């Protein structure tokens, strides 16, 4: 099609829709123009940039594809290198036509792509942008070349795109690989060649996705006219997966695969060795099918064979740290202390994940195979903590179990003891705990001799234990023993990777829903006084109330400002002032009251009312 002026183009597009003229572009382009005019009600003369997402939205949208992007980056980079000199940019988009990965060409061409927002975060859905490489390829699920004035909107006429759809291991549309050039001298034929290169690269990417997904299965190539397909099967030769072309070649469906159908019903070969091999493939009736490359499961490639695949024991900690620099640093420090039996003191607001973090520290230690025992010191009266923690002999007190109790410390022997809300532990018990840590033995109530124990202690608090120790509300010697290593777990609102966490929890708590942009914006801005726990509850509830699989603003039960009021803010300020005055005067109430210009009685009343721990 010859180049047309914008107004000519618009007239031509309109005439196609009304079937008043013959167009010499391929019928796929015509059909797309008609879709855009009639179904999507788009205006070919409209000017303006594509829809673009904010950074937070990009992170949210990209998260489900993160692994895929990481896996495909080397192949995408190779493609970008090959096409760079011809002025092409390379993008990977998701199935909704949002670009999630971009490589721009050299500086001379890059400006154009930047100006026209052809980069990560832009959306080129056909329903909004009209006929264009990415949007139309995804709408039709077929490779396509959209050359200059084949675009629906006249403003895109300086660009040429070649795009191949990307299918996942189950043959579902996962996205598309796009290359775009803005070089005027680029002939359609040259562009066609670039499309062939892109399609070939995309096939390799699909192969990489398939092989990664079925890394623990046997994988055989199945030759076909339009290129080979991939088939995965288990040790019993039951088919566990087939790529899109293998499904088409052999007539396999999701149902057949899910039923664990026998490989021999489709193809046969005599492959037995645990190594990559080329074998002759036959149809089930014995007719030759061609050569197949068979590769064994990844587990069989490493020697010696292990059934319990080695996992990084710091995995859980890395996952909890996410991309928050402070958390990443803390995990690095924890790693550096290795298997030293150093006590760990966790500090953070309620619901930040102190318990899950403590479990992950246990899982990363050489004690992981032994017990992890947890006790919340604020949830029980003093006498019960005593019995629970230190245990007792048979008949030690009225109401005691007949055969006594080992106590949690002994139960944690060889493993980890987690004491949550340690700041609430009564002073008398602090003394007993200190003795256990110093002597590595515990005296159960009523016992005649101690029991030797080897525990790693992890404790947690939302209080300022250092300040409490200074004020005499917590034993300073115990405090110093507990904080072998101190880890601060930041509040959700302070985490640099807060949006990642919101996406992750949304996937876990409301797996069949997506978040509307307004809901996303509100979740992202909310201060979460209850941290992760609150976020989980909010999303769990929203998942139940959402209609048509979309969580909207109305589904979010978020009290204004996290429940903070002017009164609570004043109380916080007042509390901080009193604590500071007490600290300055080493806990002496009379002097603190004088410095605050309050009577002693008033200060005592406020100390009680604001639940401030004092030295005496």
Ligand X SMILES: Nc1ncnc2c1ncn2[C@@H]1O[C@H](COP(=O)(O)OP(=O)(O)OP(=O)(O)O)[C@@H](O)[C@H]1O
Query: Whose CA is closest to 107, among 89, 82, 129?
Result: 89
351 binds ligand X (CB under 6 A): yes
Distance in Å, CB of 442 to ligand X, minimum: 25
Burial class of residue 14, CB neighbours in 10 A (0-12, 13-18, 19+):
middle
422 or 505: whose CB is closer to ligand X? 505
How crowded is residue 15: how many other Cβ atoms within 10 Å of its Cβ?
Answer: 14
Please report where in the chains the tokens 């797309």 appear, as a residue.
Answer: 32
Containing 122, the helix (H) or strand (E) segment is strand 122-123
The whole-angstrom separation of Cα 138 and Cα 132 is 10
Distance in Å, CB of 491 to ligand X, minimum: 10
Binder to ligand X among 353, 407, 415, 423 (CB under 6 A)? 353
Stretch that binds ligand X, among 106-114, 266-274, 428-436, 498-506 (CB under 6 A): 498-506
Closest-by-Cβ residue to ligand X is: 353
350 binds ligand X (CB under 6 A): yes
233 or 520: whose CB is closer to ligand X? 520
Binder to ligand X among 320, 375, 425, 519 (CB under 6 A)? 320
533 binds ligand X (CB under 6 A): yes
281 or 352: whose CB is closer to ligand X? 352
Distance in Å, CB of 531 to ligand X, minimum: 7
506 binds ligand X (CB under 6 A): no
207 binds ligand X (CB under 6 A): no
Binder to ligand X among 436, 501, 519, 539 (CB under 6 A)? 501
Task: Provide the strand spans (E) within 212-270.
Answer: 218-222, 229-233, 239-242, 267-268
Sequence-distant (6+) residues with CB within 8 A of 90 are: 76, 79, 80, 83, 102, 103, 177, 178, 179
Distance in Å, CB of 529 to ligand X, minimum: 11
Rounded CA Rg of the chain: 33
490 binds ligand X (CB under 6 A): no
Stretch that binds ligand X, among 38-46, 144-152, 205-213, 532-540 (CB under 6 A): 532-540
354 binds ligand X (CB under 6 A): yes
Distance in Å, CB of 425 to ligand X, minimum: 14
Q: Is the dihedral of CA 120, 125, 130, 131 positive or negative?
A: positive
493 or 536: whose CB is closer to ligand X? 536
Scan residues 420-439 and list those touching ligand X (CB under 6 A): 420
Query: What are the φ/ψ torsions at residue 271 (nearest 5 degrees)?
Result: -80, 130
The whole-angstrom separation of Cα 324 and Cα 311 is 23
271 binds ligand X (CB under 6 A): no
Structure tokens at 126: 């056909």
355 binds ligand X (CB under 6 A): yes
Stretch that binds ligand X, among 23-31, 160-168, 345-353, 472-480 (CB under 6 A): 345-353
Distance in Å, CB of 490 to ligand X, minimum: 11
84 binds ligand X (CB under 6 A): no
Stretch that binds ligand X, among 260-268, 347-355, 406-414, 422-430 (CB under 6 A): 347-355
Distance in Å, CB of 602 to ligand X, minimum: 32
Alpha-carbon distances, residue 289 vs 219, 266, 286, 349, 608 (angstroms): 16, 11, 9, 64, 85
Structure tokens at 235: 């040790």
Structure tokens at 404: 């006594």
17 or 496: whose CB is closer to ligand X? 496
Burial 562-598 (b: 16+ CB within 10 A, else e): eeeeeeeeeeeeebeebbebbeebebebeebbeebeb
35 or 354: whose CB is closer to ligand X? 354
x/- letters, 395..424, toward ligand X (CB under 6 A): -------------------------x----
Contact of 339 with 365, CB cutoff 8 Å: yes
Scan residues 356-395 and list those touching ligand X (CB under 6 A): 356
529 binds ligand X (CB under 6 A): no
575 binds ligand X (CB under 6 A): no
Q: Give start and end residues of each alpha helix (H) in 102-187.
A: 107-115, 126-129, 133-140
The whole-angstrom separation of Cα 521 and Cα 525 is 6
Distance in Å, CB of 543 to ligand X, minimum: 15
Total residues interacting with ligand X, rule: CB under 6 A: 17
Angle at 311 between CA 305 and CA 315, to 5 degrees: 170
| Interacting residues toward ligand X by CB under 6 A | 320, 348, 350-356, 420, 462, 501, 504-505, 532-533, 536
């Amino acid at each position: 099609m010859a180049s047309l002026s914008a107004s000519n183009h618009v007239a031509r597009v309109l005439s196609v829709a009304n079937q008043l003229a013959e167009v010499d572009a391929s019928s796929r382009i015509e059909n797309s123009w008609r879709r855009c005019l009639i179904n999507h009600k788009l205006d070919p003369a409209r000017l303006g940039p594509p829809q673009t997402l904010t950074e937070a939205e990009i992170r949210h949208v990209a998260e489900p594809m993160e692994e895929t992007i990481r896996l495909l980056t080397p192949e995408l980079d190779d493609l970008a290198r090959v096409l760079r000199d011809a002025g092409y940019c390379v993008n990977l988009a998701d199935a909704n036509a949002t670009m999630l990965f971009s490589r721009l060409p050299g500086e001379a061409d890059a400006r154009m792509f930047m100006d026209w927002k052809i980069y990560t975060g832009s959306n080129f859905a056909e329903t909004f942008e009209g006929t264009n490489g990415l949007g139309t390829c995804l709408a039709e699920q077929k490779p396509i070349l959209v050359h200059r004035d084949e675009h629906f909107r006249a403003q895109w006429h300086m660009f040429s795109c070649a795009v191949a759809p990307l299918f996942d291991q189950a043959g579902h549309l996962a996205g598309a690989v796009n290359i775009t050039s803005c070089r005027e001298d680029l002939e359609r034929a040259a562009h066609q060649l670039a499309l062939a290169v892109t399609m070939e690269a995309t096939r390799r990417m699909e192969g990489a996705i398939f092989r990664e997904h079925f890394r623990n299965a046997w994988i055989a190539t199945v030759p076909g006219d339009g290129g080979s397909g991939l088939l995965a099967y288990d040790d019993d030769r039951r088919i566990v997966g087939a790529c899109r072309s293998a499904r088409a070649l052999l007539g396999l469906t999701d149902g057949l695969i899910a039923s664990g159908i026998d490989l021999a019903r489709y193809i046969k070969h005599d492959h037995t060795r645990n190594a990559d091999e080329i074998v002759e493939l036959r149809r089930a009736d014995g007719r030759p099918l061609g050569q197949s490359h068979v590769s064994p499961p990844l587990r069989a490639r490493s020697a010696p064979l292990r059934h319990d695949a080695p996992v990084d024991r710091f995995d859980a900690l890395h996952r909890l740290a996410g991309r928050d620099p402070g958390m990443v640093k803390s995990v690095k420090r924890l790693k550096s202390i290795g298997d030293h039996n150093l006590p760990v003191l966790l500090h953070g607001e309620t619901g930040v994940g102190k318990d899950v973090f403590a479990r992950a520290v246990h899982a990363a230690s050489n004690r992981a195979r032994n017990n992890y025992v947890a006790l919340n010191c604020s949830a029980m009266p003093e006498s019960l903590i005593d019995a629970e923690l230190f245990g007792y002999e048979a008949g030690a007190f009225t109401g005691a179990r007949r055969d006594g109790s080992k106590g949690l410390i002994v139960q944690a022997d060889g493993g980890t003891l987690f004491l949550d809300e340690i700041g609430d532990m009564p002073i008398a018990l602090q003394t007993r705990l200190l003795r256990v840590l110093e002597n590595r033995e515990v005296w159960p109530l009523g016992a005649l001799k101690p029991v030797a124990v080897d525990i790693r202690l992890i404790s947690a608090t939302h209080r300022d234990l250092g300040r409490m120790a200074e004020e005499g509300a917590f034993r300073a010697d115990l405090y110093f023993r507990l904080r072998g290593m101190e880890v601060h777990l930041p509040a959700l609102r302070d985490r640099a990777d807060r949006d990642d966490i919101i996406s992750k929890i949304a996937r876990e708590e409301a797996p069949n829903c997506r978040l509307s942009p307004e809901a996303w914006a509100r979740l992202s801005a909310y201060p979460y006084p209850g941290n992760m726990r609150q976020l989980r509850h909010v999303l769990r509830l929203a998942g139940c109330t959402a209609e048509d699989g979309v969580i909207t603003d109305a589904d979010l039960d978020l009290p204004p400002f996290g429940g903070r009021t002017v009164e609570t803010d004043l109380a916080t300020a007042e509390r901080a002032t009193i604590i500071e005055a007490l600290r300055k005067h080493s806990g002496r109430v009379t002097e603190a009251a004088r410095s605050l210009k309050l009577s002693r009685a008033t200060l005592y009343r406020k100390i009680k009312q604001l639940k401030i721990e004092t030295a005496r």
